[in-house]
Structure 1
């Protein structure tokens, strides 16, 4: 009797591929899903906020049908076409969880119509400058325990709550949960009464709730079987910098689906951050070269990263990858679009082989990518939409090259990813300040699952194969007391074999095999009910637990392949399969080849080389990696006669020496060899049967021969190595020899490495008429009896037996030497000039081989030669200069020349010459001078030896009198030349430079007018370098050492300004200061012609040269006007005397002073 029953529905999927022992029934594909639309912070400002919306995307590998509902809203039935992502817009008002809502029935429910295939579901929050996405897990992959994954909140955007969140969703009625807050013992109890009920937990402040643990209350009713969904993230967050923000949104994986190894691939051209959570104490995590120890619920946040890496742990962990805020996310030194995003990664152990995913452009996503992580050995089998990416696009993981990754730009909305081995993938998109990212799909952990063992292929799979026997096995997380099996509602069979234990410590599994084979001949769904009787209190279960599994029968594939039926041996042959799996949208992905020669392959289209000839039977089978393999088909091929190439050659050779190669190739069945191709390994080839070849370089060369037979087959390459040795480098030095000499040829030969070890020599002196024409000594020695030209050769042979010969033409000279030489201008030689000598010597046969000159043989007969030439000719000119004379006296020298035609053949010639003393000129430095220095006598040049003669100075600014005028020369540096010509016709010249510096320029008025008792600053301008100033006299000046002093108006005075430059050049300028006193006009005058006061006198008016004077009569008539007062008023108007009386005047000084007015009386 059943004490209580538990029904667990686990469905086998036709969509996901599994390997043998590790196959499991749970993936991200299913028939029942729950999603949420959590609180997010709107964008915008000044209460003009923008809010996001939500879509769910449904995909399937086969045609399916779904319904989406939420809080009273329904989509109705929606057809999902195979390999397409169907978007479903869920109204915001039905789904969105407002910030003030905690308990609310707003979960989004996606359900597959009964009888239709499984689907995969994704949710995408978009619009309003907000974006986030998540993979949605089916009910069968949900769990009872979760840890929240979030990120640290910073700042306050002013548009919302700016907090972490954890959203819990009931999938069953009366679900009681306990939230264990991170870093505290505080708990929150959550009661969700109806499926679809939501509880959104947020901290009171901006706490980071990462590590918060939530579980089914173990004391609640049905705690052993209930599952729930959990989502976490942030209403909006900034990461890396605070310039913009975006929400975080991910469905959490239950702790049973965590893993130990994760491969992390960067978001393309962007930095990222990693978080790692442990679910057990003392979890050792290896990350980026360091080991971290984390306890239960603790997490680690990495620094900003940009390279791929691994996370490995000794216990299960959860890993999240985060993108950064746009303005600081780039890893390529330029701002690129995007914003914070979080994606929960899947461990390597939970990979997939096939998935359909969506890559949304909503609402402003402009860049979309897929990251794929896979074993390097399988990367070339990966395809996207049936096309393999370029092999060069893949990159090996830096710390483990057995794994590779790729970052693929996406254009299509729907993408189908497939590979022959499992991979992990994430999809993500970026726009201006927007982003989303989600796991593309995953296998998930399941504690109890059914497998079907194909007895023909010995493969475990979640389905059966048509016409092939199958056994059933169930994998449980506990040891059962009894197991019953019921297929398709038939008889219940009790069969409890001894279990096979597996798994690891703390995670043991027990496998029970129902060893009764079944054969299914129809392509249809079947149902297996397994009831396990368990002891009480084992894994929270007791009594009979019932598991229901559905599985499908797959058809057997039809195998087919093509191959050349008469191939050549030792040649790569292509095998091309064209099998049909007979399953829609599921191509064959497993192959087995037996080539009939002991070799096999599991590649799709292998290439194979047959090393023997004759008849071969090819066996081939194709199928699916989830268990259905075809029957074996056979084809017979005949491999043509085998060729055995070969040749003979010497083991060593020498550079540039002929080496003979002899073909020794054979073909089975007496088939003839028809062509040869030799590759000598030095870039040269030949098609001769037995070629002869020279190697131009030394070294070890691999010579390869390939031949073709009469039946059109080509042999495998036959290689042999040959060592080519370097040649020696023979060289020798020719002697100077005449017929009286014993000619000694000095050997300079070397090995190629510069050594002389192991060399032997052979000389030929080119004198066949002599008795000793050859020699094997190191240095060649020979006596030539006849002058003339000879060809002397030296052959050097090294230790490797390589030899080389050098031939040099050699002349044996005659013994009669006639020496002679000339001295240019011999009768007028001066001591400061070089002697110019030229040989005119000759020999009766051959050439002069050496010339020696002794320039003072009379005084130094034992001295070494002053000039020596071992390769003379009569066109050469030799120069010699005697030491400087110390007195003004002539000197006599004996010059001897010796001419040689060999060592023992020479003669000499002697000449006596007279050399006159040359003047010794000294021209010391000339001090710099100024442009206004006047004519200067240059005294720095003179003759010091005492030679009689005259000296002349020439150059810019030098006059006929020999003096220098800087004004004529001009500014700058000038070269002067002093030439002293002696009476003995010898002369000497020296040069010296003289620098003419500029004179400062001064702009200064010649007169200055100052009111008496006043003061005025001098308005002067001076230009030049490093100027100094001096005024004279200094009386009445504020300072006498500045350019613009202030002058006191106390008396008329003349000043002199002297301006001097830093180069010592000066100029002076005078200025007259005039003191302006107030005019004092007389009040009367008597123009009566007596010579006293005949004109009107105005005292000090001459200080005002531009004064105007006006006089008016009492009627206002102007009777006098004058500009300046050079002609005083004489009492007349129009040449007539004015009457006695009073007149009025106006005097205008015109230098800023007021007019002077008053009355003037004429008295007669």
Structure 2
């Protein structure tokens, strides 16, 4: 057997021993981190390199974001300084982060609770922590429950509210930012007018404002606090409403103002500016008057909670007065409804006091024409009188049959002037006079002496001058008419046509009239 043999030296190097410990699950959105779980455990010198999804440059820096969600195999390769290699692999799971989300209730108003409700989701694990930041300087709020909760923003502005949620795997969401614009509250205010019963129609004027200047878009809800009003009449949605109160206050009037963003604010004011109606009243004297006499009116009004400022009198005859206690004279008889109302210092008008005033007319009295009556005869007075409820009184009472009747009978005894006084309704008195002249029997002389001695020159017939209708005729013995007169104001002087008549006896006929029969006789003319 042929044998050939060569001997060489072989160096056997130590093989590296790699250990790759298990990797914990990680979260997608965390920062890259250094892997340290793999190592050479045999003390063999050399260099280890990581590889796999999310590994760059073999340095062992793992980027979950680069790797992406899912389970990935990472490999660790160790090469000894002699070129000996050992490898090990481990899986790593990149978990998806939770997604933060939330909503909040409207309206969004300053100083009012706004309810925040979580809508966050987690596809892996369970959310355990909610971290809220309201961007208003208040402390960060960390909650362990997803239950809705309130938050109050004290100042109207826009806030960037953030939410971060964390799961049981320790994964935190991206910061979720949602802006919320907090609106100002209205500042409600109003004014109330002074008003008076019985028709207390109160005017309410809106004075509300808001910081953003949108008061022209307000809506209103008034409650007038009036228990005497129906429900429909006790409220209003007008800007400047009125309300009719039927009784004195106070009333609690409320105004709720709502802005165009739904922010509402209410104010309540006490309305106590309703005033009672003053009471007008008056007296007058005398109780009734005769035409032309003044009536004095005396105010008895009560201004109640205000002093009386004005008086308004209406006398019912198209005349008025503003005096407190006027005097008035009516120009026509009749019944007048005199009215008074007043105004007090609260600006309230009273009711109207009305009282009837009777102005009586004077009776119209005409005692009639002057009368003549034969001596010893009688005559009836014939006055003309008009009026109501008349009473009569004749004075003096001499020679009258009755002094209290309209047509008394007068006996002719002496000339006299009678006064008729008539009293009518209201004691109104008027009077007139009538003269009654007594016609005495004529005294006829049977002689006279027209001889120029100045004595007994004319035929004077006493009492005949009182007979205005008397007719005197004188005849001579031949029946010739030598004298005639109507009335006997100028006595016969014994002439005819201006010529003296001779001595003799003459025949006369005297017709006095006024009911006396003619008187016949003789008169002797002596010279």
Using structure 2 for the length normalisation, give the TM-score: 0.50
CA drift of 1:1005 comes to 1.5
1:838 matches 2:204? yes
Distance 1:899 1:914, change over 3 A: closer
* CA distance, structure 2, for counterparts of residue 907 and residue 959 of structure 1: 50
Q: Which of 338, 356, 360 pairs up with 1:976?
A: 338
Aligned with residue 238 of structure 2, among 847, 864, 873: 873
Does 1:923 pair with 2:288?
no
Alpha-carbon separation, structure 1, partners of 2:308 and 2:190:
33
1:908 and 1:972 mapped to 2: Cα distance?
Answer: 60
For the 8 Å contact 2:291–2:360, the answer to whether it is kept is no
Partners of 1:1124 and 1:1005 in 2: how far apart? 24
Within the alignment, does 1:851 sit opposite 2:219 as a pair? no
Q: Deviations over 1:642-665 (max 9, x none)?
A: xxxxxxxxxxxxxxxxxxxxxxxx
Alpha-carbon offset, residue 1082 of structure 1: 1.5
Q: Is the 8 A contact 2:400 2:409 kept in 1?
A: yes
Q: Per-residue deviation at 1:1118? A: 2.8
- Paired residue for 1:1160, among 504, 523, 527? 523
Partner-residue secondary structure (3-state), 2:294: coil
Q: Give the structure 1 partner of residue 469 of structure 2.
A: 1106
For the Cα contact (< 8 Å) 1:817–1:844, is it kept in 2? no
Equivalent residue number for residue 1134 of structure 1: 497
Q: Over residues 635-684 of structure 1, what are the superposed CA-to-partner deviations in whole Å (9 max), with x where a residue is unaligned?
A: xxxxxxxxxxxxxxxxxxxxxxxxxxxxxxxxxxxxxxxxxxxxxxxxxx
Q: Is the CA contact (8 Å cut-off) linking 1:819 and 1:897 kept in structure 2?
A: no
Structure 1 residues 820 and 901, CA gap change in structure 2 (3 angstroms):
closer
Residues 1053, 847 of structure 1: alpha-carbon distance in 2 compared, 3 angstrom cutoff: same
The aligned runs of 1:141-152 (5 Å cut-off) are none
2:253 aligned residue: 897
SS at match of 2:492: coil
Partner of 2:410: 1047
Asked if structure 1 preserves the Cα contact closer than 8 Å seen for 2:368 and 2:381, the reply is no
- How far is 1:817 from its partner? 6.7
Kept in 2, the 8 Å contact 1:918–1:947? The answer is no
Q: Secondary structure at the match of 1:1031?
A: strand
Deviation at 1:1038, TM superposition (A): 2.5
Out of 363, 368, 374, the position equivalent to 1:1005 is 368
TM superposition shift of 1:816: 6.4
Q: Is the 8 A contact 1:1030 1:1041 kept in 2?
A: yes
Q: 3-state DSSP class of the match of 1:1081?
A: coil
Q: Which residues in structure 2 correspond to 1:723-872 (within 5 Å)?
A: 819-824=188-193, 834=200, 836-840=202-206, 848-853=220-225, 869-872=234-237
Aligned match of 2:377 in 999, 1014, 1036?
1014
Give a deviation string over 1:1111-1137, Cα, whole Å, max 9, x none: 233333333332222222233333333
Report the alpha carbon displacement of residue 1019 of structure 1 after superposing the two structures with TM. Answer: 2.9
Instruction: Render the CA deviation track for 1:13-65: whole Å, top value 9, x for unaligned.
Output: xxxxxxxxxxxxxxxxxxxxxxxxxxxxxxxxxxxxxxxxxxxxxxxxxxxxx
What's the CA shift for 1:1018? 2.9
Q: Is the 8 A contact 2:192 2:205 kept in 1?
A: no
- Report if the CA contact (8 A) 1:1086-1:1163 is conserved: yes
Displacement of 1:1052 in angstroms is: 2.3
Question: What is the number of equivalent residue pairs in this alignment?
Answer: 330
Which residue of structure 1 aligns with residue 329 of structure 2? 965
User: Counterparts in 2 of 1:44-123, with a 5 A limit?
Assistant: none
Q: Indicate how the Cα distance of structure 1 residues 1043 and 1097 shifts in structure 2: closer, same or farther if over 3 A, else same.
A: same
TM-superposition CA deviations, 1:423-470 (whole Å, max 9, x none): xxxxxxxxxxxxxxxxxxxxxxxxxxxxxxxxxxxxxxxxxxxxxxxx
SS state at 1:1080 partner = coil
Deviations 1:332-377 (A, max 9, x none): xxxxxxxxxxxxxxxxxxxxxxxxxxxxxxxxxxxxxxxxxxxxxx
Structure-2 separation of matches of 1:1029 and 1:901: 83
Match of 2:478 among 1115, 1119, 1130: 1115
Report the Cα distance in structure 2 between the residues aligned to 1:1138 and 1:881, rounded to whole angstroms: 111
CA contact (8 A) 1:1019 1:1044 kept: yes
CA, structure 1 residues 918+1097, in 2 after alignment: closer, same or farther (shift >3 Å)? Answer: farther
Alignment of 1:352-371 (within 5 A): none
Match in the other structure for 1:908:
267
Q: Identify the match of residue 1029 of structure 1 among 360, 378, 392.
A: 392
- CA distance 1:1065–1:1150, change in 2 (3 Å): same
* Change in CA separation of 1:1111 and 1:817 when aligned onto 2, cut-off 3 Å: farther
Relative distance call for 1:1072 and 1:844 in structure 2 (3 A) is: closer
2:192–2:271 contact (8 Å) kept in structure 1: no
Task: Tell me the CA shift for residue 898 of structure 1.
Answer: 0.5
Give 1:936 shift.
0.7
Q: 2:451 and 2:309 mapped to 1: Cα distance?
A: 87
Deviation at 1:1081, TM superposition (A): 1.5
2:298 to 913, 923, 940: 940
Deviation at 1:871, TM superposition (A): 4.5
SS at match of 1:1145: strand
Answering whether residue 433 of structure 2 is matched by residue 1070 of structure 1, we say yes
Matched position secondary structure for 1:924: strand
Selected match of 1:1081 from 425, 429, 444: 444
User: Are residues 1054 and 899 of structure 1, via their aligned partners in 2, closer, same or farther at CA, if it must alter by over 3 Å?
Assistant: same
How far is 1:875 from its partner? 5.9
Counterpart-to-counterpart distance in 1, 2:525 and 2:347: 96
2:452 & 2:340 partners in 1: Cα distance?
79
Partner-residue secondary structure (3-state), 1:975: strand
* Structure with the greater alpha carbon radius of gyration: 2
CA distance 1:984–1:909, change in 2 (3 Å): closer
| Distance change in 2, residues 1:844/1:1159 (3 Å) | closer
Unaligned runs of 5+ in 1: 1-737, 741-813, 855-862, 884-892
Contact kept? 1:820, 1:840, Cα under 8 Å? yes
CA contact (8 A) 1:925 1:992 kept: no
Kept in 2: contact 1:947–1:982 (CA 8 A): yes
Distance 2:320 2:518 in 1: 62
Aligned to 2:57: none
Q: Which has the higher contact order (CA 8 A, sep 6+)?
A: 2
Partner SS, residue 1102 of structure 1: helix
Q: Secondary structure at the match of 1:939?
A: strand
Please report the TM-score for the alignment, with normalisation by the length of structure 1.
0.25
Seen in structure 2, the aligned counterparts of structure 1 residues 901 and 739 have a Cα distance that, compared at 3 Å, is: farther
CA distance in 2 between partners of 1:920 and 1:1134 (Å): 92
CA distance in 2, matches of 1:957, 1:1126: 59
- The question of whether the paired residues in 2 share the 8 Å contact of 1:839 and 1:873 is answered with no
